[in-house]
A and B are shown apart, each in its own frame.
Chain A
Amino acid sequence: MSGALRIPGAGRLSQAKTARFSFDGQSYSGIEGDTLASALLANGVHLVGRSFKYHRPRGFLSAGAEEPNALVEIKRDAARKTPNVRATVQELYDGLAAQSQNRWPSLAFDVGAVNDIASPLFSAGFYYKTFMWPKAAWKSLYEPKIRAAAGLGVAPDQPDPDHYSARFAHCDVLVLGGGAAGIAAALAAAETGVRVILADEQAEFGGSLRFESGAKIDGQDGFAWAQAAIARLKALDNVRVLSRATAFGYYAQNFVALVERVSDHLQNPGRDLPRERLWQVRAKRVVLATGAIERHMVFADNDRPGIMLASAARTYLNHYGVAVGRNVGVYTANDSAYAAAIDLKKAGVDVAAIVDLRDNPTGPVIDEARALGIEINFGRAVISAGGKLRVTSMTVQPKNGGGERTIPVDAILMSAGWTPSVHLFSQSRGKVAFNDETKRFVPGTYAQDCVSVGACNGTDGLSATIDEAYAAGAKAAKDTGAKAARGTKPKVDASESWSRGMLGAAPGAGPDTTVKAFVDFQNDVTAKDIRQAVHEGMRSIEHVKRFTTNGMATDQGKTSNMHGLAIAAETLGKPIPQVGLTTFRAPYTPVTFGSIVGHARGPLFDPTRKTAIHPWAEAQGAVFEDVGQWKRAWYFPKGGEDMHAAVDRECVTVRKTAGLFDASTLGKIEVVGPDAAKFMELLYTNPWEKLEPGRCRYGIMLREDGFIYDDGVVGRLAPDRFHVTTTTGGAPRVMNHMEDYLQTEFPHLNVWLTSTTEQWAVIAVQGPKSRDIIAPLVEGIDMSDEALPHMSVREGRICGVPTRLFRMSFSGERGFEVNVPADYGQAVWEALWAEGQKHGATAYGTEAMHVLRAEKGYIIVGQDTDGTVTPNDAGLDWAVGKKKTDFVGIRGMARPDLVAKGRKQLVGLKTKDPKVVLEEGAQVVADPKQAVPMKMIGHVTSSYWSENCGRSIALALVAGGRDRMGETLYVPMPDGVIEVEVAGMVFFDEKGERLNG
């Protein structure tokens, strides 16, 4: 059994394949091909949720993506819990487990429903008015409470175990929507041979042909024709057909994003299948065939379970073979609901009455309904619905007032007319135009190379739709350079046609009433709320929308926007176009974060860069830190050392004997060419023309505004060749900065720039024994102090491989930096390490490197500077070429503010208590007794415990710092004020004798 309301012989699903599923723990049977909605309805279940604000019982409004009510949680396992799934979209599979949301303790008895009784408190603007004061309470008290009580599903609390893939695609013609119009357009375009993609959000193509029993095309039933056409399209090499694929975003230059649900409908998806696939399609032409969405009637208690759109009831019957009730009522202002009544009546369902707001409509469907013996009431309104957990009756009254009559029903099918789906058109920045005659917004002015066809274009009737769509598909293909189509246009043999309907509240829910006639089901907005918003001064529809939240739920007002607009316009006494339509934005339907993130998560979120020496450090048990994308060895703990002990030992050993440090992450740029020196003169503050080949210089790079941008040691290898180093994090932007000037400001210079960061592994060997460690391995380089003085560079060989050997120091000790091709990095490191072992050398990490450089007062750009520090502020005036007439930053540096007195200058700080280590970022004040907020005169930029100095050391930017030598300043902290003395920046070996020690 697949449900008592399944009608034998109706629908298109095979009765053979049953699927078991559960809802709120109760077990049911459905059929493969069902949606969760159709399967529940087949079992007579209408009550599936509680509403967002009032916790009112809700059922299914629709049979598709526009569903505002039937949101459930689908749970595959503990990590695969998806909240807010539309039951009308979720395909059934054997074992599916769904739960209702937003109710406690149960769906039938929900404590939150007290909000419904207290509803005057929850009217329009409620959130704004009630929770605005005190402001602080919003974050801590109101918002969490509202979130907890409101009807939002519960987010999963475990990482998503599924994977999501992404594809880029290009095509000539992209057709969005696979109903009659989309299929006709795709056929016309495909027959010319151009590349076509046809996408539809449903599992099966056909659109409204799923329920339109009166459609016949090329001699077949409409839906059967659609399946045959899709099979033909799928067989063509130039066509890609995507089902379960929702176009959710339309961006510039015909760039369309679609999400394809690959495995949510499968019982056992298998690990190799992605859950969803994001398609990013660039199309030369787009054909929008997105159809139209039926509107509900706005009357009192129109949200009771069992009250749904007429087309939904038809879909459940004609496609799924399910009757939505046994004794249904119909309430309409439009012909299309008659077709639902006729189909249900023919299937053996009692139709209690059709209530039609129109006075004396005529037409074939009305005649047919009458001939079937259905009671029809013209000029009447349904003024209320009875029942709570399920509709039990409808109360009917002449629309201008008079005697009431209550008719027992177990379902009400309603139709106020159809709203063209202009969402994607509007996203494409096209402007909609209001057709006053049909009361519809239809595509007006186009902004991109696209065209709308069929119901979304306001085209009525199947014949007209297919004519328009086929012509548009052929033209789109032709516009991309295709020849004329060779196929034949599908021929419509029979079709249905619908008239217009109405907008706004129906009689009985007018301005004089206080009933709950819902406009927006998902956000619980009633006709009264919209009127109230206007009465409280909202004039623009954008304001009405935000004040009432009409159309702001995840359904984006697919069923509610036009009603809301009409009620606002009526209340304002203005025509609809003057009040305006709200803007449609992506996504058309909710999109998972997973599909947007795709594979870019975990290790693939961002590249991880590792040096050639990384495996060695890892094997030694190094602790790593992230520096930008790089993993850098932070410290090398030995025998249970904590970080503090390891760093102390590393620092002391470097100064006592020697240390090896992996400096490979330093940025490296090769500046080559006849004008290389001229270029360097312009990009750095220092003079370069006279630097001899074989010598190095510490260079400072500024931005044009005069602030320090980067620094590094530069070696001149030859008159036309510089080996430039940059900070670890700065390499890409320094390269960009150099290229920018070379290409655009100094294009006359004959210079080539090459990033060589990853070409060289760099091993720093620092300490008194450094030369003894390196020398035995080096060939072709005289390593005496005379031949290779501090700040020089030579090319030669080490361990038999080429090297650029720098004599330089970032520790203040005699030091070298051995550059070797990266592939040899680890082998050379291991050879140096073996030599180092003989002298008791240590490997040291970035933390010890930082301490050692701070002991010497060497700055780190980006730590001791922050983009507002000039060379003078940093005490680096000596590095600025005084005779130079041009370099980037020369003018900026001379700006009045940058040469003014009292600027923050980099100085050393010594705590009065040598054991106290300051916190980096801590603020410095002159008078700790002043009132809060204190006047802050600077902040700590670097601070460490220095085992070599036997005390703490710190660098700080302090206003007028260099004039404060010896002054006592204060660093207020939560647990007390720390006294500090302003000192020079060099804490160790002030005379710099150890560089040659």
Chain B
Amino acid sequence: MLLIRCPYCEEERPELEFRNAGEAHIARSADIAGESDDDFEKFFFIRSNPKGIIYERWRHMHGCARFFNAVRDTVSDKFLMTYKAGEPKPAKLPGASK
């Protein structure tokens, strides 16, 4: 069981309290109704599934209930950092393996 740091609670808590919510930084268009089929496909269906660094959303479901973003290495399963929803992708990652 992993420990995940909630950026709102500012505490490391067991994985049991959290729920994964898919890839992060996929913005919903302000004019979604006017999107082309291709753009909608990219927005809704296409996910990166990388070997290595992934940016993803988590929710502190059984805690503060906030959604936040996390950077995880899918090879080591290590969380490199977490940050609040709405904050930009971090430019630098602490302790990234590659």
Across the interface, B32 reaches (CB within 8 A) one of A251, A253, A740, A890, namely A890
B86 and A744 contacting across the interface, CB-CB below 8 Å: yes
Cα A815 to Cα B14 in complex, Å, equals 47
Chain B residues whose CB sits within 8 angstroms of the CB of A282 once the complex forms:
3, 14
> Do A253 and B67 touch across chains, with their CB atoms under 8 A apart?
no
Q: Is the CB of A255 within 8 A of B32?
A: no
Q: Report A249-292 residues with CB < 8 Å from chain B CB.
A: 251-253, 255, 280, 282
Flag whether B21 is at the interface (Cβ < 8 A). yes
| Residues of B close to A894: CB separation below 8 A | 33
Considering the complex, give the chain A residue whose CB is closest to the CB of B28: A745
- The proximity string for B residues 45-79 relative to A, scoring 1 for CB distances below 8 Å and 0 otherwise, is 00000000000010101000111000000001110
Q: Interface digits, B11-36 against A, CB 8 Å rule (1 contact, 0 not)?
A: 00010000001000000100011010
Task: Kindly provide the distance from the CB of B78 to the nearest chain A CB, expressed in whole angstroms.
Answer: 8
Q: How far in angstroms is the closest Cβ of chain A from B4?
A: 10
Partner of B86 from A747, A886, A892, A895 at Cβ < 8 Å:
A747
**How close is B28's CB to chain A, nearest CB, in angstroms?**
5
- Contact present for B35 and A891 (CB under 8 Å): yes
B32 & A891 in contact (Cβ 8 Å cutoff): yes
Partner of B66, one of A429, A705, A743, A892: A743
Tell me whether A705 and B44 are in contact (CB under 8 A).
yes
Residues of chain A contacted by B61 (CB below 8 angstroms): 736
How far is A782 from B83 in the complex, measured between Cα atoms in Å?
A: 53
A280→B33 CA distance, assembly (Å): 50
The chain B residue sitting closest to A745, CB to CB, is: B28
Cα distance A891–B85 in the bound complex, in angstroms: 24
A253 touches B86 (CB 8 A): no
In the bound complex, residues from chain B placing their C-beta under 8 Å from that of A896 are 37
Q: Which of A280, A747, A890, A891 has the most CB of B within 10 A?
A: A891
- Chain A residues closer than 8 Å to B77, beta-carbon distance: 252
Known contacts A736-B59, A743-B66, A885-B33; is A253 also within 8 Å of B44 by CB?
no
* Residue of B3, B40, B65 touching A892 (CB-CB under 8 A): B40
A252 surroundings in chain B (CB, below 8 A)? 1-2, 77-78
Contact A895 B40 (CB under 8 A): yes
Residues of A within 8 A of B40 (CB): 891-892, 895
CB nearest to B39 among chain A residues: A891
Interface residues of A in 896-948 (CB under 8 A from B): 896
Q: Is A447 an interface residue (CB 8 A)?
A: yes
Within 8 A of B (CB), among A402-458: 429, 447
Residue in chain A with minimal CB distance to B85: A744
Contact A739 B76 (CB under 8 A): no
Q: Is the CB of B57 within 8 A of A744?
A: yes
Give Cα distance in the complex from A251 to B57, angstroms: 23
Q: Which residues of B contact A739 (CB under 8 A)?
A: 59, 65, 67
Structural contact, A892 and B44, CB atoms closer than 8 A: yes
Question: Once bound together, how far apart are the Cα atoms of A743 and B32, in whole Å?
Answer: 18
A896 to B61, CA, bound (A): 36
When distances are taken between beta carbons in the complex, the residues of chain B under 8 Å from A745 are 28
A739-B67, A747-B85 known; A891-B1 Cβ under 8 A: no
CB distance from A889 to the nearest CB of B (A): 10
Q: How large is the interface on A (under 10, 10 to 19, 20 to 34, 35 or more residues)?
A: 20 to 34
| Interface footprint category on B | 20 to 34
A704: interface (CB < 8 Å): yes
**Neighbouring A residues of B21 by C-beta, 8 Å:** 740
Contacts of A704 in B (CB 8 A): 28, 44
- Could you tell me if A890 and B44 are in contact, using CB atoms closer than 8 angstroms? no
In the complex the two chains form, what is the Cα distance from A429 to B78 in whole Å? Answer: 12
Q: Which of B1, B14, B85 contacts A743 (CB 8 A)?
A: B85
Q: Known contacts A740-B67, A743-B67; is A891 also within 8 Å of B33 by CB?
A: yes
Give CA–CA (A429, B76) in the complex, Å.
9
Q: Which residues of A contact B85 (CB under 8 A)?
A: 743-744, 747
Name the residue among A429, A885, A886 with the largest chain B CB count within 10 angstroms.
Answer: A886
Cβ-defined contact, B1 with A886, below 8 A: no
Q: Which of A702-743 touch B at CB < 8 Å?
A: 704-705, 736, 739-740, 743
Residue of B at shortest CB range from A732? B61
Contacts of A429 in B (CB 8 A): 76
**A744 and B1 form a contact (CB under 8 A):** no
- The one of B3, B37, B57 in contact with A253, judged by C-beta atoms closer than 8 angstroms, is B3
CB-defined contacts of B66 to chain A, threshold 8 Å: 743
Q: Determine how close the nearest CB of chain B comes to the CB of A1; give it in whole angstroms.
A: 51
Q: Which residues of A contact B59 (CB under 8 A)?
A: 736, 739-740
Q: In the bound complex, how far is the Cα of B33 from the Cα of A895, in angstroms?
A: 11
Q: Whole-angstrom distance between the alpha carbons of A701 and B3 in the complex?
A: 34
Residues of A within 8 A of B33 (CB): 885-886, 890-891, 894
> Which residue in chain B gives the minimum CB-CB distance to A429?
B76
Complexed CA–CA distance, A892 and B35 (Å): 10
Interchain nearest-CB distance for B96 vs A (Å): 16
A739 to B67, CA, bound (A): 9
Q: Which of A746-793 contact B (CB under 8 A)?
A: 747
CB closest chain-A residue, reference B30? A886
Give B36's nearest chain A residue, CB to CB. Answer: A891
Chain B proximity mask over A6-23: 1 for CB below 8 Å, otherwise 0: 000000000000000000
Instruction: Give Cα A447–Cα B2 distance, bound, in whole angstroms.
Output: 14
- Give chain A residues whose Cβ lies under 8 Å from the Cβ of B35: 891
**Distance of A909 from chain B, by nearest CB (Å):** 34
Contact mask A872-897 → B, CB, 8 Å, 1/0? 00000000000001100011101110
The answer for the CA separation of A858 and B44 in the assembled complex, in Å, is: 30
Given contacts A890-B33, A891-B33, contact A253 B65 (CB under 8 A): no
Q: Which residues of B contact A447 (CB under 8 A)?
A: 76
Question: Which residues from B are CB-within-8-Å of A891?
Answer: 32-33, 35, 40
**Contact, CB under 8 Å: A886 / B65:** no
The residue in B67, B77, B85, B86 that gathers the most chain A C-beta atoms within 10 A of its C-beta is B67
> In the bound complex, how far is the Cα of B33 from the Cα of A890, in angstroms?
6
CA distance A890 to B3 in the complex (A): 38
Q: Please, which residue of chain B has its CB at the minimum distance from the CB of A705?
A: B44
For A251, the chain B residues whose CB sits under 8 A away are: 1
Q: Which residue of B lies closest to A251 (CB)?
A: B1
Taking a contact as CB atoms under 8 Å apart, the answer to whether A895 and B3 are in contact is no
Which chain A positions have C-beta within 8 A of B3? 253, 282
Binary interface profile of A, 227-265, with partner B (CB < 8 Å = 1, else 0)? 000000000000000000000000111010000000000
The residue on B at minimum CB distance from A168 is: B14
Complex-state Cα separation, A744 to B68, whole angstroms = 9
Which of A740, A744, A745, A894 has the most chain B CB atoms inside 10 A of its CB? A744
**A253, A447, A886, most chain B CB atoms within 10 A:** A253
Bound Cα distance A561, B19 (Å): 39
> A-B pairs with the 4 shortest C-beta distances?
A891-B32, A743-B67, A890-B33, A745-B28
20 contacting pairs across A/B (C-beta < 8 A): A251-B1, A253-B2, A255-B1, A282-B3, A282-B14, A447-B76, A705-B44, A739-B59, A740-B59, A743-B67, A744-B57, A744-B85, A745-B28, A885-B33, A886-B32, A890-B32, A890-B33, A891-B35, A892-B40, A895-B37
Chain B residues packing against A (C-beta within 8 Å): 1-3, 14, 21, 28, 32-33, 35, 37, 40, 44, 57, 59, 61, 65-67, 76-78, 85-86
